Each structure stands twice: as C-alpha cells, then as structure tokens.
Amino acid sequence: MTPIEFLNKVAPFKDKVFRLAKRLLVSKEEAEDATQEILLKLWNNKTKIETYKNLEAFSMTMTRNFCFDKLKSKQTHNLKIIHSNYEDKSTPLGKQVELNDSINWVEKIIETLPEQQKTIIQLRDIEAYSYNEIAEILEMTNTAVRVALSRARKTIREKLINIHNYGIK
C-alpha cells in the first residue's frame, strides 16, 4: 500500500480520532500524540488494513483503548468530556452566557456518569456515530448501547431539572 492510498483510507476519520482522544485525555497535546500513535500503528500494519471490516470503527476502538491505557499509566481517573463547539458568534451576550452555563452544567453532569455511559454519549451525541458503529467500537450489543444511552440521557435530564428547579415541588 502506498502512502497516498493509506492517506485516502485514513483521512476521512482522522479528525474523529483526534476529537475522541481530546475528549478522553483533555489535553490538546496529549490528543495530538495519541492520534499520531494510532496513525503510526495503522501505517505499521498497513498490510492488514484490507482485512478490517470497518477501518474507522477499528481505529476508534484503538483510540479509546490507547487513551485508557495512557490514563491508567498516569494513575489519573479524571476523565472529562468537554465540548465547546456550541459557540454561536451571532448570539447576544446574555443568551451566550446562559448557553455557556447550560453547557457547563451538562458537562458537569456527564462527568458524574459511569465511564461506559460517558463514552456512549460522546460517540452518539457529539460524534454522531450510529448505534451499530458504537456497538462495534465498544463491543456491546445494539440493544445494550441504546439502553445505556437512554439511561445516560435520563440521568442528565433529571439532574438538569433538579438543578434549575423546573420541577418545583
């Protein structure tokens, strides 16, 4: 396989690999290193690439495992999901402050979720993977992914309602 053929296969999803690594490792530099490591591993195994049914799912699984290994080696368990792509420059300042506050609350709530639910929220709601792709990446059944996602969303919704006192008792 030539370098150009390799790039044509990997280029469509390399940004997703970086974003997942950044969500798990938090640091941009750590995420760049992780992405580079994953691409290097793929390049070193370029002869096997054709045997993978879904190269993108395989790469995302590699990324997830690599990041978890890296975090374990540092003895840190402060995984954090940060997503700040919701900025809308045309929004009035008051609305922007309110939006940022809501995003911060959702981020804090997501941090309290079990690891599996955090990952599923990340892959489904932020990265927009299908249920089948998530099931393949996380080695779960499609039904288990849907149940975990439903529980995660329900937890987020209930905690937001409690925080903002929308369900006045």
CATH of the domain at 54: 1.10.1740.10
In this structure, the answer to whether residues 69 and 101 fall within a common structural domain is no
Structure tokens at 2: 């030539």
The domain in which residue 117 lies consists of: 93-164
Domain tally, the chain: 2
In this structure, the answer to whether residues 65 and 100 fall within a common structural domain is no
Residue 87 domain-assigned (yes or no): no
**pLDDT on residue 135:** 92
91 confidence band (pLDDT: 50, 70, 90): low
Find the range with the poorest average confidence among 92-96, 102-106, 111-115, 163-167: 163-167
In this structure, the answer to whether residues 27 and 66 fall within a common structural domain is yes
Q: Chain-wide mean pLDDT for the chain?
A: 81
Which stretch of DSSP H or E encloses residue 14? helix 14-25
Interval 127-142: pLDDT, tens: 888 999 999 989 999 9
Interval 52-79: pLDDT, tens: 888 888 889 999 988 888 887 765 444 4
CB 22 within 8 A of CB 28: yes
Residues above pLDDT 90, as percent of the chain: 20
Structure tokens at 123: 């892959």
